[in-house]
Amino acid sequence: MKLLYCLSGHPTLPCNVLKFKSTTIMLDCGLDTTSVLNFLPLPLVHSPRLSKLPSWVSKDGSLNLEKELKECAGRVFVDSQPEFCLPERELLDLSTVDVILVSNYHCMMALPYITEHTGFTGTVYATEPTLTIGRLLMEELVNFMERVPKAQSATCWKNKEIQRMLPGPLKDAVDVWAWKRSYSMPEVNSALSKVQLVGYSQKVELFGAVQVSPLSSGYSLGSSNWIIQSHHEKVSYVSGSSLLTTHPQPMDQSSLKNSDVLILTGLTQMPTANPDGMLGEFCSNLAMTIRAGGNVLVPCYPSGVIYDLLECLYQFIESANLGTTPFYFISPVANSSLEFSQIFAEWLCHNKQSKVYLPEPPFPHAELIQTNKLKHYSSIHGDFSIEFRQPCVVFTGHPSLRFGDVVHFMELWGKSSLNTIIFTEPDFSYLDALAPYQPLAMKCVYCPIDTRLNFHQVSKLLKEVQPVHVVCPEQYTQPPLTQSHRSDLMLELQPPPMPYRRCSVLSLPFRRRYERVYILPELANSLVPSEIKPGVSLATVSAVLHSKDNKHTLQSVPKPPPAPLSKKRKRVLEEPPVLLAPKPLLSGAVPLEAFLATLQKHGITEVKVEETADGHILHLQAEDTLIQLEEDGTHIVCDNNEPLRTTLRDLGEQRESSS
């Protein structure tokens, strides 16, 4: 069975398990962090505003979760360490997962939850940049959480009875009991120790049954799509791919051709926002704010789009006369991120690759750092506070605005309308992210930059690679809810794609038709093919089928040991079966006229011949027997008259072999 278990409902943070040819393969391990939007921000320094927020009390006053729920500008937030929505763990026994294939660093954030607490004993495959940057992201996350520990863990609100009475998004949150707090650094280390590095197009054998191989997907450093194939079946897993020319190596499309099934996830979350336009919007709003004397805050991840933003700004700051404005990049892993990006030469686009061999670094942010235009700090504490100069541009995390240094800048700059916050990461709704900071005077600009495939590109891609079937999240099969008239923002395919949602189990629509079997040379030598029609020869094989590690081999039948010259007579009776000389191969159709003549010769005269669509039916009235002569089969129907059947068979065979 080819089954696909869908453990995540988030189309861009997928987690699916594919059972294919006796292997169990987990495809990505995304962590849905949008759940943190329901929590209060974790300030780095004490925030009087946040601590003074009123507790939420239900309208009739019957419900009072004073400790757990706070109210801000009409929205209710959980006052606790933020929690994440994990992939579904009940749908199947995750300890049976053999391997996990990771497609990019954003899609591995749930790895510690899976590898550490489910009995997982397999291997994780990922490319080197994916592992390195994934580790940075995890480190940052853990750091953000652990540096402002919150003792309290709110659970009362999760009670079904209570949750039902809560307002707004909290009421509709699903699987709240499965939400978990962040993992710890030891867990991260342990999880990442199970990662085995692979390079693009490297073929990895899984138990001899299937071969998996990563392909460049063009989305981020080291991001990959995966090919999972046996000798006769091919499944492609496309997750987070991009056709735009940004920093990573371009997408490898041709290797996706001839797939039986293509699992399609990780399309752009912003199908209507063209990255180029957004980049322009980002730059002009930034320049506009700085010119007016305000500060710009850019909540972002420490790796990914930020490289392109910095590159774009590098060209832009001169032309916009922003040469003197300081740019700050604050993240616990800022330094590593900027440095690592410069050394992953083989994972970069061609243009940047060639720069690695020149004295100039591939990314221009090195020059920004050299010329002191870009400065990076691990946190707002320490050096940063000494050098901090306004107006400035600050890049910092976390994009959810719930934890990390960004919380501090929100508190600091939120009150002035001169300042601007520019959202570039597409993962969070900016209105939800800003909710606990209301009322806010700061200007907000939303220019999400998502370079992943849009519907137009994906339909072109699918036209090109022509998979037999496409499996995708259900969100891709209808236009977005808010833009129901945009029939161009959905996948329209023939045959229609198979949609999945969280907890779906799909049976993939292809059958194993063939299996490759090897034949040993000495056995092959012994075959005597006979030509049955020009160019086609057949031979009967008698052999022993040997199966090991999903490899099948035909071996010669072991010669029976020469009969031991035993004196026990009893053994003589058990003679080895005599190997009869193979009968001549039968092929072709039974010629009717000749067959009737033969029957007559053998005394069967009362034959009624009836013509059918596929051949003839002969009714042997005296024998009460039917003979169906069809193109590819002959059936003799007679009730319990084995001798007659054998006779008729032999007669038929005679005719056939002589024809």
Applying CB under 8 A, what is the total number of residues that bind other proteins?
28
DSSP 44: S
Kindly state whether residue 281 participates in binding other proteins, applying the rule CB under 8 A: yes
Give the residue with the Cβ less far from other proteins, 278 or 369: 278
Taking phi over 0 as left and psi of -120 to 50 as alpha, with beta for the rest, 420 belongs to beta
Contacts for 478-485 with beta carbons within 8 Å, 24 or more apart?
Answer: 480/271, 483/272
Of the residues 123, 211, 274, 353, which one makes contact with other proteins according to CB under 8 A: 274
Q: Is 320 in the site for other proteins (CB under 8 A)?
A: yes
Binding region for other proteins (CB under 8 A) out of 139-147, 172-180, 267-275, 460-468: 267-275
Contact between 425 and other proteins (CB under 8 A)? no
Q: Segment contacting other proteins (CB under 8 A): 9-17, 222-230, 286-294, 602-610?
A: 286-294
Give Cβ neighbours of residue 338 (< 8 Å, ≥ 6 apart).
329, 365, 366, 369, 376
SS3 505: strand
Report which secondary-structure segment, H or E, holds 417: none
Query: What's the closest the beta carbon of residue 442 comes to other proteins, in angstroms?
Result: 15
Does residue 245 touch other proteins according to CB under 8 A? no
Ranges assigned E (strand) in 29-86: 69-72, 75-78, 83-84
Nearer residue to other proteins within complex by CB, 254 or 494: 494
- The binder of other proteins chosen from 486, 546, 635, 649 (CB under 8 A): 486
CB of 159 to other proteins, least distance (A): 40
Q: Give the position of tokens 């008239």.
A: 485
CA-based angle 494:266:25, to the nearest 5?
Answer: 90
**Residue 278 engages other proteins in binding (rule: CB under 8 A):** yes
Pick one of 49, 181, 232, 291: the residue that binds other proteins (CB under 8 A).
291
Tokens of residue 261, six digits: 């099934």
CB-side neighbour CA atoms (13 Å) of 494: 0
Q: Of 55, 163, 255, 284, which lies in the binding site for other proteins, with binding defined by CB under 8 A? A: 284
Residue 244 makes contact with other proteins by CB under 8 A: no
Restricted to residues 466-485, the positions that interact with other proteins (CB under 8 A) are 483, 485
- Told to check if 409 binds other proteins by CB under 8 A, we report no
Kindly state whether residue 27 participates in binding other proteins, applying the rule CB under 8 A.
no
Helices (H), 394-531: 406-413, 430-434, 455-465, 521-525
| CB-facing half-sphere around the CA of 527: CA atoms within 13 A | 18
- Among 70-78, 287-295, 544-552, 629-637, the segment contacting other proteins (CB under 8 A): 287-295
- Give yes or no for residue 487 binding other proteins (CB under 8 A): yes
Q: Pick the binder of other proteins from 318, 360, 464, 650 (CB under 8 A).
A: 318
Which two structure tokens, joined as six digits, stand for 269?
């979350």
CB atoms within 10 A of CB 324: 10
Q: Which two tokens stand for residue 36?
A: 């943190």
Q: Does 460 bind other proteins (CB under 8 A)?
A: no
Among 56, 120, 307, 316, binds other proteins (CB under 8 A): 316
- Which residues, in sequence order, are CB contacts of 516 under 8 Å at separation 6+? 231, 232, 552
Q: Give me the residue label for tokens 């994990």.
A: 86
**Interface with other proteins includes 488 (CB under 8 A)?**
yes
- Out of 100, 273, 421, 453, the only residue in the binding site for other proteins (CB under 8 A) is 273
Q: Which residues in this chain contact other proteins in the complex, by CB under 8 A? A: 272-274, 276-281, 283-288, 291, 312, 316, 318-321, 447, 483, 485-488
